[in-house]
Amino acid sequence: MTQYTAGTYDVIVVGAGHAGCEAALAAARLGLKTVAFTINLDSVALMACNPSIGGPGKGHLVREIDALGGQMAINLDKTFIQVRMLNTKKGPAVRALRAQADKIAYQYSMRYSLELQENLDLIQEEIVKILVKGQKVIGVVTKTGGVYYANAVILTTGVYLCGKIYVGDVSYNGGPNGLFPANELTNSLIDLGFEMGRFKTGTPPRIHKDSIDFSKMIEQPGDKEIIPFSYTTGKINREQVSCWLTYSNEETHKIIEENLYRAPLYSGQIKGAGPRYCPSIEVKVVNFKDKKSHQIFIEPEGINNSEMYIQGLSTSLPVDVQIQMTRSVKGLENAKIMRFGYAIEYDFVIPTQLKPTLEAKKIDGLYMAGQINGTSGYEEAAAQGLIAGINACMKIKEREPVVLQRSDAYIGVLIDDLVTKGVKEPYRILTSRAEYRLVLRQDNADMRLMEIGHNIGLISDDRYKKMICKKGMIEKEIERLGSVKLTPNSDTNEKLKKLNTSPINTPVTLEELLKRPEISYESLKELDETREELPSEIIEQVEIAVTYEGYIKRQINQINRHKKMENKRIPEDINYDDIHGLRIEAREKLKEVMPLSIGQASRISGVTPADITVLLIYLEAQKRKRTSG
């Protein structure tokens, strides 16, 4: 193959899925000349699986991406066809927005964002090789021989690396949705010394809307009051499309059980681990034999097409079994399948080979983000892409990298889990993974992260000033509630009785009353003569801050204690073989991960508190040696 010099950029992004889009936009918006490569321009921001974004943990990520200056939330607000706030009966820590997107509209909107972006080129080409000089990345080579040079390269290849499709006993090399795989880049990464793994994921059949009997299903409408994902989006008035709930049954399970020998996962064809939290229907039937039914959601893929996604029925069973299985479900007796389900197996890079910046430890200037790091989900990919794009720019500009701590954001939890603990299955963010989830709520992502986004250069002065104003309004109202006292008298106690709360015998503030579980900010209206009308988002923050004040303070104290461990830095040139008293397993794990701090070291699987004590004693001894010397 004849090679030729095709171009020179500051940043090259390989892949234009959800990670690639955020990485490319961030780099270009920060003023660097950027190019994003995709195997197919029609696959930019492709939703190969469920066309939904958000939910517990995931919705938190979308809000955080927005607060840092990313694009996902903005495009989602333009293109969603249904939105719901989940877990509204639970505490604010686990409430989360989830939207059903118009799949095609979302893709086109994101692609248009890339095409309009100054400093950004979008090119349809497959990348087959990473160019490295010494231990520094210098560029990439395309399948057609083009050589592109750059100071930083970000790999966001999704599930395309040596992708292989499975439908029953039929298998072939391929990417998602009938697209081509990337078969050559894995070898380039192996040649550079990277350890690779192999995972699998899958999708369900898609069926024609007109072949569904919705009268046999439970309607799942969107919320009457639409809450946008982006802090920049104003009030949205939009007609929403319903989703529908039905269930698998004993007949469905029988069909699956009788054909398990034809399922690639059980026949031994598929070797890679699948996602624990989004398993195929085969796995659910085998692992939960006591359950006679499983939830199945019928979700529209868009306004201008008839495809319906069968959430909960992911499968790689043969086509004839898929037809039987689908038609055994209530309401789907006459279902016409438009796309059959499949499993896809693909290569990924073991993420403990990355720094918390998402830069490779072995190759200077090479970053990785998204499913190439062993994650699943559009939101997880977009979050990594944004951070990788930011840090590539920070490195080129010789500025401090952005490393979010676990106490800063769900993005911090996600990346720390990947680079510190690694993955044994496709990683999915969950609220349960965050130690400080009452502080890391989806409703306060702007106040947590927008200052960082502003300092980076991705949040405008105007957006930042609006956030500061919002913060000031919240603090002012909390202060006012704490200063307004109610005296015990018959009129006050009569009003309290109507609110189903106990009377007062001594003066109390409105803030103290609001802490009562039966009292809301709205219900205090009758007792609050000095109140001014406030936006709903301010009221929400005031209620949460007052109601959960004790819990929030306790969590902040925990954060401050743990920060001491995070601030104890470990020298990059440390030799763990010199530390006597470390167990062999701990020494191996520490050498593999090369943690930056004692806090990170303490989270490595296989490193015990006793090992941390030995490490602390060693570091203190080294410090004394340097001081005395």
Q: pLDDT by residue (tens digit) across 263-320?
A: 988 887 887 777 777 789 999 999 999 999 999 999 999 999 999 999 999 999 999 9
Secondary structure (3-state) at 368:
strand
* Tokens coding 544: 């949460």
Here the tokens at position 188 are 């380039």
**8 A C-beta contact, residue 70 and residue 382:** yes
Q: How far is CA 480 from CA 220, 476, 511, 619, in A?
A: 41, 6, 8, 49
- Is-contact 65 452, C-beta < 8 A? no
Q: What is the pLDDT of residue 629?
A: 62
Say how many C-beta atoms besides its own lie within 10 A of residue 617's C-beta. Answer: 12
pLDDT value of position 572: 87
**Res 502: pLDDT:** 93
Model confidence pLDDT, tens digit, residues 46-91: 999 999 999 999 999 999 999 999 999 999 999 999 999 999 999 9
As a three-state string, the secondary structure of 379-437 is: HHHHHHHHHHHHHHHHHHCCCCCCCCCCCCCHHHHHHHHHHHHCCCCCECCCHHHCCCC
CB 10 within 8 A of CB 151: yes
pLDDT of amino acid 275: 77
Backbone angles phi, psi at 256, to 5 degrees: -65, -50
SS3 263: coil
Average pLDDT estimate for 503-518 = 93
Residue 628 has pLDDT above 80, yes or no: no
- Residue 469 identity: C
Task: Please give the average per-residue pLDDT across 398-427, as a whole number.
Answer: 96
Backbone φ and ψ for 472, nearest 5 degrees, come out as -65, -40
| Helix, strand, coil percentages in the chain from 3-state DSSP, rounded to 5 | 40, 20, 40
pLDDT in tens, 101-122: 999 999 999 999 999 999 999 9
Nearest-angstrom CA–CA distance, 594 and 574:
9
| 11-25, 173-187, 588-602, range with greatest mean pLDDT | 11-25
Torsion of CA 324, 328, 332, 336, to 10 degrees: 10
pLDDT for the residue numbered 422: 95
Q: Exposed, middle or buried, 237 (CB in 10 Å: 0-12/13-18/19+)?
A: exposed
What is the average per-residue pLDDT within 596-623?
92
pLDDT tens across 446-486, in order? Answer: 999 999 999 999 999 999 999 999 999 999 999 999 999 99
Give the pLDDT band (50/70/90) at residue 369: very high
Distance of alpha carbon 467 from alpha carbon 200, whole angstroms = 41
- The sign of the torsion formed by the CA atoms of 435, 439, 445, 448 equals negative
- Residues β-bridged to residue 167: 170
Tens digits of residue pLDDT in 230-273: 999 999 999 999 999 999 999 999 999 999 999 988 887 887 77
Distance CA 53, CA 44 (A): 16
In 125-263, where does DSSP find H-type helix? 185-191, 250-258
Backbone angles phi, psi at 273, to 5 degrees: -75, 145
Q: Mean of the pLDDT values across residues 544-550?
A: 95
Q: For all residues of the chain together, what is the average pLDDT? A: 95
To which residue do tokens 């073991």 refer? 350
CA distance 621 to 581: 14
Looking at residue 419, the DSSP 8-state letter turns out to be: I
Q: What is the pLDDT of residue 521?
A: 94
Beta-carbon count within 10 A of 293 CB: 14
166-185 average pLDDT score: 92
Nearest Cα neighbor of 226 from 110, 98, 109 is 98
Bridge pairing between strands 120-124 and 34-38: parallel
| Residues 423, 546: Cα–Cα separation, whole Å | 39
H helices then E strands: how many in the chain?
A: 20, 24
Residue where the block lists tokens 């995931």: 58
Over range 324-350, report the average pLDDT.
Answer: 97
For 543, residues 6+ apart whose C-beta sits below 8 A from its C-beta are 514, 520, 521
Is the CA virtual torsion 221, 227, 232, 233 positive or negative? positive
Structure tokens at 519: 């009292």
Residue 245's closest CA among 313, 303, 320?
Answer: 313
Contacts 24+ apart (CB under 8 A), 86-94: 86/55, 86/56, 86/59, 87/56, 91/438, 91/548, 92/438, 92/441, 92/443, 92/544, 92/548, 93/431, 93/437, 93/438, 93/440, 93/441, 94/56, 94/431, 94/437
Burial zone of 512 (CB within 10 Å; 0-12 exposed, 13-18 middle, 19+ buried) = middle
pLDDT > 90 in the chain, percent: 89
Residues 6+ apart with CB under 8 A from 566: 405, 597, 598, 599, 600
Reading phi first (left if > 0) and then psi (alpha if -120 to 50, else beta), residue 138 is in alpha
Task: Read off the amino acid at residue 541.
Answer: Q
Which two tokens mark 176? 């998602």
Are the C-beta atoms of 208 and 306 separated by less than 8 Å?
yes
Rounded Cα–Cα distance for residues 440 and 433 (Å)? 11
What are the beta bridge partners of residue 299? Answer: 309
Q: Report how far apart the first and last C-alpha atoms of the chain are (Å, whole number).
A: 59
Structure tokens at 175: 């990417």
User: Looking at the predicted structure, is the pLDDT value of residue 526 above 90?
Assistant: no
What domains can you pick out in the chain, each with its CATH number?
206-344 (2.40.30.260), 471-553 (1.10.10.1800), 568-628 (1.10.150.570)
Neighbours of 317 (CB within 10 A): 29
At 14, give phi and psi (nearest 5°). -100, 105
The dihedral region occupied by 594, where left means phi > 0, alpha psi between -120 and 50, and beta the remainder, is left
Place of tokens 């050559």: 184
Six-digit token pair at 454? Answer: 């502003």
Cα 148–chain centre separation: 30
Q: Which tokens sit at 60?
A: 């938190």
